[in-house]
Every structure is written in structure tokens, then in C-alpha cells.
């Protein structure tokens, strides 16, 4: 068994909320507080959220984390 980690990012929009909601629906759990930063180059607020999930397989760098 392995615990997997992903860091989801997106502009501050409903797309970010949908991305996090989709991960939760797939069994991922929130990890830590959400993060925010202003992207000066593009003039937008960016959001990030860590998520974790325990799976029955051993970790491999070749794993497609979004498919787990």
C-alpha cells in the first residue's frame, strides 16, 4: 500500500473548485490548507490544494496519479 500525493492548481475560478471536488469524489482527501498566490505575469489569482489517497499498489513514478 502507498499513500499518494497530488497538488492541484488552477486560476481562482469555479474550475478550481470542480477540480478539487472531482478529486474528493474519487476518494482523495484534503491535505493541508489551500494556498493562494497572485500570478503577476497573467494578472490572476492562482489557487492550490494538496490531496492524498492511500492505494493498494506500491508507488511507482510511472503511476498516473489522476487515474488512481
Note the pLDDT of residue 29.
Answer: 98
CATH (domain of 18):
3.30.70
Is residue 11 domain-resident? yes
Give 47: exposed, middle or buried? Use CB within 10 Å, 0-12, 13-18, 19+: buried
pLDDT in tens, 16-54: 999 999 999 999 999 999 999 999 999 999 999 999 999
Give the residue from 26, 15, 14 showing the smallest Cα distance to 6.
Answer: 26
Domain count, the chain: 1
Note the pLDDT of residue 30.
Answer: 98
Note the pLDDT of residue 9.
Answer: 96
Asked whether the whole model's pTM tops 0.75, one would answer: yes
Domain that holds residue 36: 2-57
Is residue 62 domain-resident? no
Amino acid at each position: 500500500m502507498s499513500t499518494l500525493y497530488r497538488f492541484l492548481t488552477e486560476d481562482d475560478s469555479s474550475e478550481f473548485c470542480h477540480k478539487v471536488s472531482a478529486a474528493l469524489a474519487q476518494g482523495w482527501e484534503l491535505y493541508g490548507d489551500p494556498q493562494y498566490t497572485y500570478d503577476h505575469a497573467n494578472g490572476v489569482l492562482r489557487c492550490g490544494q494538496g490531496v492524498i489517497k492511500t492505494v493498494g499498489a506500491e508507488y511507482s513514478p510511472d503511476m498516473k496519479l489522476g487515474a488512481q
